[in-house]
Amino acid sequence: MKHKVPVLMYHDIIKEDNDYGVNIKLFYKQMLLMKKMGYESINLNQIENVSSNKTFVITFDDGYENVYTYAMPILKKLNFTATCFFVSNFINKSNDWDKTFKNYVKKKIMTYDQIKSWAQNNFEIGSHSFDHKNLNTLNDNEIIKQLNESKLFIKKNFGRNVESFSYPYGKYNNEISLLVKKYYKFAVTTKRSRFDKSKFSLLEIPRIPINPDTGVLKFYLKVKTYYEDLKFRK
């Protein structure tokens, strides 16, 4: 039997409504819906052995402090876990890699102690590269530096052997995924679909984007129906 696993993609969890983050009240409603539907969450590094249609994965890109402050207590309350992808060189700093964007909003990244607490609560630490460069613009040696230095940094500072990677900006190609394979077992993309291991590589795991305007009904459609599967583009 094929199992379609929703891998949810979040960035910010916020208290005030704006155009870049999911409101904490909406996030709670989304997670409560998953709980009421009987879903259990796993970390991304457990996705290979899924044996239930009631399994899902929660991911957060960038490692914002608001994920620790607002999302983590909700997840703990509902007995859910999650994977957060950190940009190693920006831990305890801010999202300076976004400064070139027109609508740049400065946001704090988790501190070392917060990430240690994240890991101690059995939440997964993943890599989002060393300093969030578009891998498509780099040569092989530069890509290897992004992959390897991030992995070594997390191992040294948090004692975790990182298995999961998130492509910065969702940008990659076949050659890049082969390089990623040398350092990580799992990698998530920004391509849209639920994950079916008979269809997708573990290095090209699609996700379901959860945006500020993803209300509970739309969230249900994304998770339970072919809504996202039909949006997949190679």
Buried b (16+ CB within 10 A) or exposed e, 48-64: eebeeeebbbbbbbbbb
Running DSSP on this structure, what letter comes out for residue 89? G
Specify which residues 85 forms β-bridges with: 61, 126
CB 21 within 8 A of CB 10: no
With a cut of 70, say whether residue 191 has pLDDT above it. yes
Residue 1's pLDDT band (cuts 50, 70, 90): low
With a cut of 80, say whether residue 27 has pLDDT above it. yes
**Structure confidence at residue 214 (pLDDT):** 95
- Taking residues 25-39, report their average pLDDT: 98
**Structure confidence at residue 18 (pLDDT):** 66
Cα distances from 213 to residues 21, 28, 66, 130, 220, in angstroms, run 9, 14, 18, 30, 13
**Structure confidence at residue 20 (pLDDT):** 77
- How far, in Å, CA of 183 to CA of 35, rounded? 34
- How far, in Å, CA of 108 to CA of 91, rounded? 9
Indicate yes or no: pTM above 0.95: yes
Q: How many CB atoms lie within 10 A of CB 103?
A: 7
pLDDT tens digits, one per residue of 134-184: 999 999 999 999 999 999 999 999 999 999 999 999 999 999 999 999 999
Question: Angle between the 140-158 and 174-181 helix axes, to the nearest 10 degrees?
Answer: 40
Residue 101's pLDDT band (cuts 50, 70, 90): confident
Residue 18's Cβ-side half-sphere holds a number of Cα atoms within 13 Å equal to 10
Residue 210, sorted as left (phi over 0), alpha (psi -120 to 50) or beta, turns out to be beta
Delimit the domains of the chain by residue range. Answer: 7-231
* Range name among 1-5, 9-13, 48-52, 176-180 with the lowest pLDDT average: 1-5
Q: Which of 52, 34, 44 is nearest to 7 (CA)?
A: 44
**Structure confidence at residue 141 (pLDDT):** 98
Residue position matching structure tokens 């916020």? 14
Q: Which of 59, 127, 133 is nearest to 96 (CA)?
A: 133
CATH architecture of 7-231: Alpha-Beta Barrel (3.20)
Residue 195, sorted as left (phi over 0), alpha (psi -120 to 50) or beta, turns out to be beta
Q: How many CB atoms lie within 10 A of CB 161?
A: 9
- How far, in Å, CA of 198 to CA of 203, rounded? 13
